[in-house]
């Protein structure tokens, strides 16, 4: 395997992804070879142009080209901006033999790619992603599009690039926030289809910002290779490619709920990964320990997993415009184990009803991570992988939620999470007269976990958990109310 080259095999639409440091000579060679006489039109944004203006001209030295710098940010991922690109191409006399170069982050890539897909019914485009998020996600796979006020990426087209050039030198200029945003998509890839990448992330913990150049190249290539393998099997998202939407149902709703200006895409995806993992636990798919590890990892990376300024009603409304809807249901990829997911068709009304519970549990877990920072090593439980698919396999499954499941209405007070289906998160070997085995790191104890034990009839264990919570936090009102309600 050539560490500097990866081919996305799509028949006549196949293309190469080039990796390396300062790879602009290969870029120039590629253009001169495949587009010796066509016009070249570079689309970027003003932030990228301010930082990389000289680099753009260095990459295109000796190649006639023009440059359009768009206003930056997700809030400008709109049809008005696409029209601006159309005008730029028309003024530049772009023809069927022309080439669009998307030089920037994910927004630039999506907009330039869509304009290329639709101008003159389709002209060629290549991607030069300059952010971690665009390198590991949006530059590969051919998804292009823009947002509407009603929802994210509601208008789009599949238009595979002719090539992708991933230069890790661009990562050196990213601030922590943008670098962290990209790490959310790396975590998604690890959970969806690369258990080895997941182990590496857990082992690295909060030191990801100090990765060496070699470590960054390994991480980026692993994430890109996983996505490419999925795209090769399902180019147009008819089935398996939906695995790449992990964390994006709630993530996209978070982005849309505040007009696209509040979160970076990766920040919203991190929230979506955590909330949807808790939903997966409630559906009996995601194990308690895996939810714990995911939340701990994201918190350790510096993500905030909730924003009290975003109302649940706004999130619920935005989910209603999700592209993955099938009638009144949403097809969700749910984590079953690191590197393995299961598809579930979940009623939209059920997801909306669960939102208060998901927010409450995430807040509890985040608070617990602050009190007890994780120190354990990565251990995967293969037993969580039953009835699931691997991203590298051809087979996959979409199963509806059991018809007899009726989610409880959200109470007015802080809700307790109720197990929906599947095996209980608590180990089956735990008996009423014995406490759970002591873990190697501080145990995760919440009122939610106490409720789960209580629902299994293990009342003394549940009371013990709440008692330990109150010993650590005597003012915990929810624990006090729980104990008072079961005083008899």
Q: Is 265 a catalytic residue?
A: yes
Q: Which of 237, 255, 350, 364 is catalytic?
A: 237
State how far the alpha carbon of 356 is from the alpha carbons of 149, 230, 247, 351, 359, in Å. 25, 33, 17, 10, 5
237 annotated active-site: yes
Query: Could you give the CA distance from residue 255 to residue 277 in angstroms, rounded to a whole number?
Result: 18
- Exposure string of 264-290, with b = 16+ CB inside 10 Å and e = fewer, is bbbbbbbbbbbbbbbbbbbbbbbbbbb
Residue 146 φ/ψ, nearest 5 degrees: -150, 170
Choose, from 77, 200, 217, 252, the residue flagged as catalytic: 252
Which member of 248, 340, 380, 419 is catalytic?
248
In angstroms, the CA 8 to CA 14 distance is 5
For residue 372, indicate whether it is catalytic. Answer: no
Any catalytic annotation for residue 289? no
Q: Are strands 398-400 and 124-129 parallel, antiparallel or unpaired?
A: unpaired
Among 436, 443, 451, which residue's Cα sits nearest to residue 471? 443
Check 121, 387, 403, 471 and give the catalytic one: 121
Catalytic one among 200, 245, 361, 365? 245
Residues with Cβ within 8 Å of 35's Cβ and at least 6 positions away in sequence, in order, are 97, 98, 99, 124
**Catalytic one of 265, 293, 365, 478:** 265
Single out the catalytic residue among 200, 241, 256, 282: 241
121 is catalytic: yes
Active site residue 248: yes
Q: Is 143 a catalytic residue?
A: yes
Candidate list 227, 256, 282, 340, residue with the active-site label: 227
Instruction: Please identify which of the residues 143, 159, 281, 340 carries the catalytic annotation.
Output: 143
- What b/e sequence results for 388-425 when a residue is b if at least 16 CB atoms lie within 10 Å of its CB, and e otherwise? bbbbeeeebeeeebeeeeebeebeeebbbbebbeeeeb
Q: Which of 74, 185, 342, 350 is catalytic?
A: 185
252 is catalytic: yes
Beta bridge pairs of residue 287: none
Structure token digits, residue 67: 């440059």
Known catalytic residue: 29?
no
Report the catalytic residues: 121, 143, 185, 227, 237, 241, 245, 248, 252, 265
């Amino acid at each position: 395997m050539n560490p500097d080259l990866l081919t996305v095999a799509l028949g006549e639409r196949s293309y190469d992804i080039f990796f390396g440091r300062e790879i602009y000579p290969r870029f120039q060679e590629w253009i001169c070879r495949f587009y010796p006489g066509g016009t070249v039109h570079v689309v970027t944004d003003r932030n990228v142009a301010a930082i990389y203006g000289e680099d753009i001209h260095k990459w295109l030295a000796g190649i006639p080209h023009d440059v359009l710098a768009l206003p930056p940010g997700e809030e400008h991922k709109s049809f008005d901006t696409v029209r601006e690109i159309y005008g730029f191409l028309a003024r530049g006399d772009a023809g069927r033999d022309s080439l669009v170069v998307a030089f920037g982050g994910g927004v630039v890539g999506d907009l330039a790619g869509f304009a290329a897909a639709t101008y003159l019914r389709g002209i060629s485009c290549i991607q030069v992603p300059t952010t971690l998020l665009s390198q590991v996600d949006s530059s590969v796979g051919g998804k292009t599009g823009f947002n509407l006020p009603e929802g994210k990426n509601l208008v789009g087209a599949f238009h595979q690039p002719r090539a992708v050039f991933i230069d890790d030198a661009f990562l050196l200029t990213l601030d922590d926030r943008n670098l962290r945003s990209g790490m959310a998509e790396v975590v998604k890839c690890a959970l969806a289809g690369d258990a080895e990448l997941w182990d590496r992330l857990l082992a690295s913990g909060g030191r990801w910002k100090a990765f060496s150049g070699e470590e960054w190249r390994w991480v980026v290539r692993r994430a890109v290779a996983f996505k490419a393998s999925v795209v090769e099997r399902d180019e147009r998202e008819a089935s398996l490619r939906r695995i790449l939407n992990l964390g994006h149902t709630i993530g996209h709703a978070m982005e849309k709920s505040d007009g696209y200006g509040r979160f970076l895409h990766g920040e919203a995806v991190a929230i979506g990964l955590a909330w949807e993992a808790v939903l997966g636990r409630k559906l009996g798919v995601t194990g308690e320990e895996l939810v714990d590890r995911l939340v701990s990892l994201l918190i350790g990376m510096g993500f905030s997993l909730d924003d009290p300024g975003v109302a649940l009603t706004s999130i619920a409304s935005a989910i209603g415009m999700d592209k993955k809807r099938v009638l009144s249901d949403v097809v969700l990829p749910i984590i079953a184990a690191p590197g393995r997911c299961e598809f579930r068709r979940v009623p939209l009304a059920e997801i909306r009803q669960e939102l208060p519970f998901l927010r409450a549990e995430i807040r509890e877990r985040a608070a617990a991570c602050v009190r007890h920072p994780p120190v354990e090593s990565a251990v995967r439980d293969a037993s969580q992988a039953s009835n699931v698919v691997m991203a590298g396999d051809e087979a996959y499954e979409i199963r509806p939620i059991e018809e007899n499941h009726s989610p409880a209405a959200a109470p007015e007070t802080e809700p307790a999470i109720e197990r929906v289906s599947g095996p209980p998160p608590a180990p089956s070997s735990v008996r009423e007269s014995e406490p759970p085995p002591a873990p190697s790191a501080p145990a995760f104890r919440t009122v939610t976990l106490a409720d789960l034990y209580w629902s299994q009839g293990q009342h003394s264990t549940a009371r013990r958990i709440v008692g330990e919570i109150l010993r650590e936090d005597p003012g915990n009102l929810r624990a006090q109310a729980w104990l008072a309600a079961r005083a008899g």
